[in-house]
A = this chain, B = another copy of it.
Amino acid sequence: MSAPVWSVDPRTGNRREQVATEATAEEIDKTVRAAHAAAAALADRAQRARLLRAAADLFDQHVDKVVECADAETALGPGRLSGELTRTTYQLRAFADIAEAGDFLDVRIDHADASLVPPRPDLRRWKVPLGVVAVYSASNFPLAFSVPGGDTASALAAGCPVVVKAHPDHPGTSELCAALLHRAAAEAGLPQEVLSVVHGFDAGVELVRHPLVAAAGFTGSVRGGRALFDAAAARPRPIPFHGELGSLNPVVVSEAAAAERAEEIGAGLAGSMTLGVGQFCTKPGLVLVPAGEAGDRLVTSLTAAVSDTEPGVMLDPRMRTAFVAGVRERAELPGVESPVTPGANGEHTVSGGFLTVDAERLAGGGDYDLLVEECFGPVTVIVRYGDVAQVSAVLARLPGNLTATAHLGAAEAAGTEDTGDAGAARLLAELTPLAGRVLVDGWPTGVAVAPAQHHGGPYPATTSTSTSVGGTAIERWLRPVTYQNTPQPLLPAELRDADPADVPRTVNGVRQS
C-alpha cells in the first residue's frame, strides 16, 4: 500500500483530507515513460503556446477555487495568493509569447565558405528541447513556483514534458492545478501526459535518478536541494540541475542614506522582511546599518514597524520549529541583541523581529558565521558598522545570493559626490560578485516577470548560472544542435533558407531583424 498524502491546515495543524498517495518507484517509472512518450506531441511551438494560454484562461476562470484551496493549505492569505495567481497566469502567457516568437531557438546560420581555413561547410544551429523535466515545487509559492509555475511554464514552452514533484505543504492545490493543466492540454489537443504530478520524498529522489529525466528545476532549502543536486550529478549520465537553494540577500545602507531617510528605510525593511511571514527567498536577511545617530533612528523605526506587524502562520510546523530554533541559536551568541524578539506566538503563529550585532564581531567569523546563513521566517540581522572597511569585511564573508541591495544618499545615487574608494561605485562593485540581482534604493522581495529579470546567483543561491524567473528561464531546458550540409527539405522549417516560421536568425554572424 502506498502512503497516503494528506492536505493539512497550517492554521490548526489538522488534516483536511487525503488527496493522493505517494508514488512508488514503479509509478515514477510509468509516469516518466508516459511523459517521455508525450514529448513528440510538443514539437509544434504554436501548440505549446495554445496549451499555455488555455491554462492561463482556465486559472483565470477558477481564481476563487484555486486561491481558497491554496490558502487553506498555506495560510498565505487570499490577497497574496490572488496576486500570486495573477503573476502565474501572466507568466504562462509570457511563455506562450516566447514559444511563438522563437527567439530562444537562437538560430544561427553560416553559409559554406571555401575561402576560410579550414573551409567552412554550411552550418545551421538551433536549440532542441532536452526531454522530460523534473520540477520540484517550492513551499512558499504554491502557484508561481509550483505546479503551474515558472519552471513548468518555461519547460513546456521549450517543448519539454514536465513531471512535478508536489510540495508536501500543498498537495491539494497541486492536484487542483494539475487538473486544470490537464484540461488545458485537452483543449490544445495535447495528451495530458505532457504534465504529471507526483507526491512523496522518495518519489522525488527516484525522479531525479530516472534515466529518462533530462533536467531538473528545484526551489527550496540548501539541504534538500543539495541532496538532489548530488543525485543528479552522480547519475551514470549526469543531468543539468537548476536549483535555487537559499539566499541571505544582504542590504547595505550607506551613511548618507541613513542620514537622509532613516525612518523610511526602517519601515521599508520591516515590510520587506515580514512579507509573507518572512517566507520569501528574497527576504533581506542581513542589513548593514551605520553605527551612530542616523543608524539608531533607522533601528528605532524598524522596531516600531516590526512591533506593529501582525503575527502570522508559517507554512508548516517543521518550518515554525526551525525558525524558532534558528532565532534562539543566533540570539544566544555573545553580543547579539534582539530589540524585537522574533519567535513563537500562540500555538500556530510566529511574530517577526530582528537581531543586532557589531560588524567587527560578525567579520571575525567562527560561531558568527551562523548569522550569514539564511534563517527562513520573519527575522533579519542588523549589522552595525563603523566604516566602509567593516562593510567590506562583512561582505567578504557572505555566500552567494539571489539579490544584493544598496541604499544610497541622493548625491551618491546621482553620481555627483566624490565617489573615490569609499563611494557608491565601489559598493556596487563589491555587491555584484555576491548576487544575480543588484538593487539600488529598493527591497528585494517582489521579483518582476520580465525579459531582463535574473533570479539566480552564485551558490547556494543557484546551483547553475541560470534564472528561474523571466524570459531567459527557458534556456535551461534546451541544447543546441547544428546541422551540417543538410539539404533544405530535411531541415527544420526554422533553419531553411526560406523560413516559413519567421524566427529571428543570425546569418553569417549578422543578426537579421
Contacts and interface: CB of A to CB of B under 8 A. Distances in A.
Contact of A452 (B456, B458, B482): B482
Contact of A490 (B121, B128, B415, B437): B415
Interface in A307-360: none
Contact of A118 (B83, B414, B428): B83
How many monomers of this chain does the complex have?
2
Given A237-B400, A413-B487, A504-B511, A480 B451 contact: no
Given A90-B117, A124-B452, A233-B233, A480 B504 contact: no
Interface stretch (A7-15, A256-264, A442-450): A442-450
A170 interface: no
A459 B415 CA distance: 49
A454 interface: yes
A448 B115 CA distance: 12
A48 to B, nearest CB: 18
A467 B479 CA distance: 10
A21 B230 CA distance: 35
A19 interface: no
Nearest to A123: B452
Interface string A110-140: 1000001111110111001010000000000
A480 B472 contact: yes
A229 interface: yes
Contact of A486 (B399, B428, B511): B428
A486 B240 contact: no
A125 B238 CA distance: 30
A465 interface: yes
Find the residue from A233, A237, A450, A456 having the highest chain B CB count within 10 A.
A450
Interface string A411-429: 0011100000000110010
Contact of A424 (B233, B484, B490): B490
A177 interface: no
A83 B117 contact: yes
A87 to B, nearest CB: 6
Nearest to A86: B117
B490 A465 contact: no
A506 interface: yes
Interface range, A side: 35 or more
Interface in A73-105: 83, 86-87, 90, 103
A500 interface: no
A435 B116 contact: no
Contacts of A442: 121, 484-485
A441 interface: yes
Interface in A458-476: 458-460, 463-465, 467, 471-472
Interface in A371-420: 399-400, 408, 413-415
A467 B439 CA distance: 33
Contacts of A509: 451, 471
Given A415-B488, A484-B442, A487-B413, A478 B465 contact: yes
B459 A117 contact: no
A109 interface: yes
Given A230-B233, A425-B490, A487-B415, A479 B459 contact: no
Contact of A487 (B118, B119, B440): B440
A506 to B, nearest CB: 6
Nearest to A87: B118
A471 B511 CA distance: 14
A113 B211 CA distance: 44
Contacts of A450: 110, 120, 123
A479 B465 contact: yes
Find the residue from A103, A438, A459, A504 having the highest chain B CB count within 10 A.
A438
A414 B120 contact: no
A192 interface: no
A433 to B, nearest CB: 8
A432 interface: yes
A483 interface: yes
A142 interface: no
A428 B490 contact: yes
A110 B442 CA distance: 17
A21 to B, nearest CB: 33
B480 A436 contact: yes
A487 B229 CA distance: 37
A108 interface: yes
7 contacts: A123-B448, A230-B233, A237-B458, A414-B489, A428-B486, A438-B481, A440-B485
What are the 6 closest A-B residue pairs judged by CB atoms, nearest first? A415-B489, A233-B233, A108-B452, A454-B482, A465-B479, A123-B452
